[in-house]
Structure formats: C-alpha cells, structure tokens
C-alpha cells in the first residue's frame, strides 16, 4: 500500500509537496476506507485531489508515472532522464528532480527515492523499515558511488554479487532498474508495486500498459471478472446487461457458449495465430431486445467505467494501486459519487487503493472519504503548486460545514464550472499548531 509520495522540482511543483495516505488521528471513516497495518497504523484506501485547471493535479500523477518508469524500466545508455523541472524560476532549472515513495510491503515500510538531473542519477536510496539497503550519490570515474548496508538480510556471497551489480550500473541508470534487469529477487516486490501495481487512466481508458485485447483475454479466462464487470455496469445504470464472446475457433467458441473459462495458453495461441477472441457488450434496446455493441460503440463514460472497474478488480486481487486522473471526465456528478461508494464496499483483499484527481466538488463530503482523504492543490503567485489536505484546517470549521462542504467551498458553483474556490475567502484558516 502507498503510505506517502513526495515530489520536488517537477513541472509546476517547485518546493517539496507530500501526499500522505496515513489516516489522521481522531478522524472517523466509513467502513472500507481504512486498513490498519500492524506496526504502521491506519492507512487510507481512497483519496482525492481537487484544484482548478493548471493547478498541478496532473503534474502529481505524471510525476508518479515518470518516477515509476525511470526506477523500473530505466534508461538506455545515451538516453536522458526525461525529467521536466520547474521552469518559472531559473534557479531551479539546474536543480535535481526528487521523488520519494513509501510503500507498505507486507507489514514493513519500504522507502525508495530518486534525485535526478537531465542526464544522470545524482542520488538514490532504499530503506526497509529503518534499515538502509543502499545509498547512492554522485559519480566518480564514470561510476556511481554506492554504499550497500545491512537492510537486506543476505549472506556475504550474495552481498558480493549485489556490489558487482552496483559497480556496473551506468550514471544515467537507476540501480533499482539494474537490479530488475539482473532478476534480483530481493527487490521484486518493490518493482511489482512501482510498475505492475499501479494503473493510470488519463484521459480515457488505459491500464498500466494493458490494452483492450489483454482485457478481453483476461475476461474470457475469468468467470469471476465477467460477473464483477456486469454487476458493476448494471449498478451504475449503463444499460449494459451482458457480454458475449466470439471466436473463429470452434472449440473455443463452444467453451465460451457454455460459460466456461478459456485457458490462458489457448488464448495466447489464438492471438499468435491472428484469431483471438472478440467481446461484445449486450445493451438493452427497444422492446426489451438486447443488441450486441462493440467497444467502439460504447460511450466514453461507459468505456471509462469498464476500465476503472477492471483496474479496481485487478487492484483488489493483488493489493495494488489505481490512479485515475480526472475521475469526473464523462461522468455525471452523482455517478462519480456512486462509483466511489461501490469501490469502498467492494469485496476482496483490503489493501487495494485508489488515488484520483477531479474538478467535481460534488464529492466534497467528509462523510464519504474523511477530511484526511480530501486534498487540494493550488498555485502561489510565482506559479508553484502547493498541496494540503482538508484535515489541516480547524476541526470545528469542518464540523460546522458537515453536509455542506461543497456549498461552503463553492459559494454558488453551478454546472460543470471547475473548482476555483479559495479556502481563504471562505474565512477558513489552517489550524494553528500548539505552542
């Protein structure tokens, strides 16, 4: 599970911002919103970020994408980092971009961070609990300086191999990516959570490199996923009442007609032969007739609902993270709220998480997510984004607006106008620290 994400000097983000998924003390949450991890504490499952256009919401999501891609996929020998520093202040253009993530793998926090310039990795670190695994800094004789410490419980022979890998890593290549290329099992869980364990939807259907053909194959091979998708779409009133599969392979078609699962090796063979499986969505029509529609015939909203439903089911199964940029795109405000409620009530392993950005202040309800799960981002006069949560404000002010947070923030917002409110003009002030 994600515990904390911090970002510095990326796009509109200049000074370090921190998005925490640790539940605040004394805050009540609805069932399904919090998981308690021994030794770590209460962790939120769903959190949302609000802000006007160009405030930096997408920059946070894109920083995560950049970080995960760099840390796991790495870079080719002559390839730059691809980072985009804050450009509105010349002093920051030459400073490194720094991203750090804290994840709960099992019941232990893993902290991994990267600080990179345009061409080289300047710093890199990994901790398991409070124990340092490695620390990387600078470059000497065209090689990074890496210290291996005692964070990983391995014998001396294995430690020699890890030192050997570190000695061969290129200046522009993260050590974590090099360890992945060398199939180092000790950090595989971290790789999985950074890369395979996060999905992003922006602005339409996309899931961490999974294309529609892959989704069709997974549905064909899983009865439980088919049932999940159908119940999800029916509950949200999309008009889709069933799915139907078609294959030009007679044996496969017979399996599908009987409602059976198709073995993955069969699906892989069919794809290689250029045949595969096609999925149609049965939609209620005139006179009670159901009509088969292709993916391209579905509305953008239904496509996004299918994508998020699939991503959430995948996240539930493996305890992964789902990231949705602009969750309100193509959705009615009431639909988005119902969607979040369904996700919180869904059965499955409890360590799945959803992070989303939105303009939709219809979701501004502390009773739905909790004030510690409601985040705001805005730019200061110098064009730099700052991030803060509703939980930072006076609890008395929050209680006074119970049931009317949206009205309190918007003061007359109508229709689809983006959220442009400033908590300051509402008379809200951050809670003063105790002295």
Q: What number is the average pLDDT over the span 20-34?
A: 90
E strands, 16-152, are 17-20, 34-37, 41-44, 46-50, 97-105, 108-116, 121-128, 131-140, 143-148
Residue 9 Rama label (left phi>0; alpha psi -120 to 50; beta): left
pLDDT score recorded for residue 432:
55
Q: Which residue did the predictor score with more confidence, 229 or 7?
A: 7
What span, in angstroms and rounded, lies between the C-alpha atoms of 209 and 358? Answer: 23
- Rounded to a whole number, what is the distance in angstroms from the first to the last CA of the chain? 34
Has residue 102 got a pLDDT over 50? yes
Of the ranges 234-238, 262-266, 365-369, which one carries the lowest mean pLDDT score?
A: 365-369
Q: Tens digits of per-residue pLDDT, 328-356?
A: 776 766 777 787 887 787 655 568 888 99
Confidence tier at 433 by pLDDT (50, 70, 90): low
pLDDT score recorded for residue 416:
25
CATH 3.40.50 residue ranges in the chain? 1-197+319-435
Q: Tens digits of per-residue pLDDT, 260-300?
A: 898 888 988 888 888 878 888 888 888 878 888 888 888 87
Q: Which residue did the predictor score with more confidence, 141 or 417?
A: 141
Of the ranges 210-219, 257-266, 323-332, which one carries the lowest mean pLDDT score?
A: 210-219
Has residue 403 got a pLDDT over 90? no
What span, in angstroms and rounded, lies between the C-alpha atoms of 246 and 249? Answer: 9
pLDDT score recorded for residue 125:
96
Has residue 112 got a pLDDT over 90? yes
Has residue 230 got a pLDDT over 70? yes
Has residue 396 got a pLDDT over 70? no
**CATH number for the 1-197+319-435 domain, one of 3.20.20, 3.30.420, 2.60.40, 3.40.50?**
3.40.50
Has residue 415 got a pLDDT over 50? no
Percent pLDDT > 70 in the chain is 83
Q: SS3 of 359, please? A: coil
Which of the residue ranges 232-236, 276-280, 392-396 has the most confident prediction, judged by mean pLDDT?
276-280
What span, in angstroms and rounded, lies between the C-alpha atoms of 186 and 179? Answer: 9
Is residue 357 a contact partner of residue 31, using CB atoms and an 8 Å limit? no
Is residue 194 a contact partner of residue 101, using CB atoms and an 8 Å limit? yes
Q: Tens digits of per-residue pLDDT, 163-204?
A: 899 988 999 999 999 999 999 999 998 988 887 555 444 333
Q: What is the DSSP letter of 419?
A: P
| pLDDT mean across residues, the chain | 81
Beta-carbon contacts of residue 257 (< 8 Å; ≥ 6 apart): none
pLDDT score recorded for residue 428:
47
Radius of gyration of the CA atoms of the chain, in A: 24
């Amino acid at each position: 599970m994600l515990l904390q994400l911090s970002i510095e000097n990326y796009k509109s983000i200049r000074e370090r911002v921190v998005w925490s998924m640790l539940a605040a003390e004394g805050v009540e949450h609805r069932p399904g919103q919090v998981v308690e991890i021994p030794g770590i504490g209460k962790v939120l499952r769903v959190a949302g970020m609000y802000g006007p256009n160009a405030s930096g919401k997408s920059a946070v999501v894109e920083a995560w994408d950049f970080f995960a891609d760099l840390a796991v996929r790495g870079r080719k020998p002559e390839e730059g980092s691809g980072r985009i520093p804050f450009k509105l202040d010349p002093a920051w253009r030459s400073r490194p971009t720094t991203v750090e993530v804290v994840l709960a793998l099992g019941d232990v926090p893993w902290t991994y961070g990267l600080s990179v310039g345009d061409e080289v990795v300047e710093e890199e670190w990994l901790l398991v609990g409070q124990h340092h695994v490695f620390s990387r800094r600078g470059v000497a004789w065209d090689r990074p300086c890496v210290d291996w410490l005692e964070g990983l419980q391995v014998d001396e022979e294995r430690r020699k191999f890890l030192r050997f890998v570190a000695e061969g890593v290129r200046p522009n290549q993260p050590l974590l990516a090099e360890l992945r290329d060398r199939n180092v099992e000790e950090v595989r869980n971290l790789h999985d959570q950074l890369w395979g364990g996060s999905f992003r939807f922006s602005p339409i259907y996309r899931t961490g490199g999974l294309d529609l053909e892959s989704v069709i194959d997974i549905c064909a091979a899983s009865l439980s996923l088919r049932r999940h998708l159908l119940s999800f779409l029916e509950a949200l009133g999309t008009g889709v009442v069933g799915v139907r599969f078609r294959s030009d392979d007679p044996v496969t078609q017979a399996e599908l007609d009987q409602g059976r699962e198709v073995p993955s090796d069969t699906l892989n063979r069919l794809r290689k032969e250029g045949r595969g499986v096609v999925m149609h969505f049965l939609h209620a029509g005139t006179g009670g007739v159901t009509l088969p529609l292709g993916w391209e015939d579905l509305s953008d909203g239904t496509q996004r609902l299918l994508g998020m439903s699939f991503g959430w089911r995948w996240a539930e199964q493996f305890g992964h993270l789902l990231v949705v940029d602009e969750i309100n795109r193509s959705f009615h405000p009431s639909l988005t709220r119902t969607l979040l409620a369904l996700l919180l009530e869904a059965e499955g392993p409890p360590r799945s998480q959803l992070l989303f950005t939105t303009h939709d202040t219809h979701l501004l309800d502390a009773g739905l997510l909790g004030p510690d799960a409601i985040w705001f981002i805005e730019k200061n006069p110098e064009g730099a984004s700052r991030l803060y949560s509703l939980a930072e404000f006076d609890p008395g002010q929050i209680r006074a607006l119970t049931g009317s947070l949206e009205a309190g923030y918007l003061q007359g917002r109508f229709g689809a106008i983006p959220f442009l409110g400033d908590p300051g003009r509402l008379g809200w002030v951050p809670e003063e620290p105790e002295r």
